[in-house]
A and B are shown apart, each in its own frame.
Chain A
Amino acid sequence: DVKVTQSSRYLVKRTGEKVFLECVQDMDHENMFWYRQDPGLGLRLIYFSYDVKMKEKGDIPEGYSVSREKKERFSLILESASTNQTSMYLCASSLFTLRGATEAFFGQGTRLTVV
């Protein structure tokens, strides 16, 4: 079974703190994604990565950065946390074949509260 593991289920951080959210997958997937999920807005793509050291902006990258130094790990960084970044953060990974992308699998989510 594919496993995508996010380092924390719940986090509480103060405004202005630098926050790191970690995600690890164990299936050698090329693609990894970070989303945030808010009521009424659904899942919105923050950043994604096709391979090590590669990253692409999603729909809402402002206030975030990412790091992918190893294939299995994709980190989301909140440079200076703000209260409007309080949300559920979801990491996903997928294989990429010659036929195109395949199923995407999610971690359990990190509920971040910025106070």
Chain B
Amino acid sequence: QKEVEQDPGPLSVPEGAIVSLNCTYSNSAFQYFMWYRQYSRKGPELLMYTYSSGNKEDGRFTAQVDKSSKYISLFIRDSQPSDSATYLCAMWTNTDKLIFGTGTRLQVFP
């Protein structure tokens, strides 16, 4: 079983839609979670960083962590064509390694 599972997509939505991106993880000891956005041929850009269960909001982005279910989500409100990218979830393991999901490719069409 992979430590982090993420649906690769692609996910295609119309402009203005609410997007939900998700990851599940296997080890309840993982506790720091991040979401990255990666445009084609560029390095990943940090979007959100969360520690505890609950929600964290930043502009149109909301990160949600449910530690009891080992499930994390990223919501994008009022999605824009410029949000079209690959979204990666990441987390620190209890042995201080940073591991990633395989990424979900998102396309927002006008």
**Which residues from chain A sit less than 8 Å from chain B, CB to CB?**
4, 6, 31, 33, 35, 40-43, 45, 48, 50, 58, 88, 90, 92, 94, 96, 100-109, 111
Contact = CB atoms under 8 A, between A and B. Distances in A.
Nearest to A101: B92
A104 B34 contact: yes
A102 B49 contact: yes
B98 interface: yes
Main secondary structure of the interface of A (DSSP, over half): strand
What bracket does the count of chain B residues touching chain A fall in?
20 to 34
Given A107-B43, A111-B41, A42 B102 contact: yes
Contacts of B75: none
25 contacts: A4-B43, A35-B100, A41-B102, A42-B103, A43-B100, A45-B99, A48-B98, A58-B97, A88-B41, A90-B43, A92-B98, A94-B98, A100-B31, A101-B98, A102-B32, A103-B49, A104-B34, A104-B90, A105-B46, A106-B44, A106-B46, A108-B43, A109-B41, A109-B42, A109-B43
Given A35-B100, A48-B97, A101-B98, 9 more contacts: A40-B102, A41-B102, A43-B100, A48-B98, A100-B31, A101-B92, A104-B98, A106-B36, A108-B42
Q: What 8 A-B pairs are tightest by C-beta distance, nearest first? A: A42-B102, A106-B43, A43-B100, A109-B43, A108-B43, A103-B49, A101-B92, A106-B44
